[in-house]
Chain A
Amino acid sequence: GEQVEQLPSILRVQEGSSASINCSYEDSASNYFPWYKQEPGENPKLIIDIRSNMERKQIQELIVLLDKKAKRFSLHITDTQPGDSAMYFCAASGDGSSGNKLIFGIGTLLSVKP
């Protein structure tokens, strides 16, 4: 089945700088790539997603890039704020081996220092 690798597992940045999280997937049939944010003590929530017919998507300070050839996608947070500190999960799903379920990466713990 589909597997998603996510790096780094821990990311510490200074407030105002950028943060980047990288994910790779195995199944070329995967066509949907969401990102979920989980704040301490809370449940994961969707923050941005990208479909395979796009290469780039931006919502405010969040940018997602997708390279289908390399089977990689990434999340970039520009101008990070302390409120961005959380666990971030990438995921993949589609019509391939994973079926309709989301397969998640292991997560990245982002810490933004004031």
Chain B
Amino acid sequence: AQSVTQPDIHITVSEGASLELRCNYSYGATPYLFWYVQSPGQGLQLLLKYFSGDTLVQGIKGFEAEFKRSQSSFNLRKPSVHWSDAAEYFCAGHSGGGADGLTFGKGTHLIIQP
């Protein structure tokens, strides 16, 4: 079955430090992959997406993600976090056919320490 896994439930990072959020996928073929961010009481905002081509994708708010087929991973990175980055981050995927909608990971709660 298709799945997306985020191994870290919580991550705490100091403001100004670098960030990496992990995401692993299990799909028969190369999936369409996304990172969304959710602030408390809000909907999901798209940070970036990968369909094909360059495996390093740039997104909004200074985020980037790298698709690694050999590791079945699509990790999200940011060189220097800001207090406003504190939120819930979701990795999601679908097979391209989209028949089952987006499959989401359980999310990673990012805490920023001053």
| Chain B associates with chain A | no
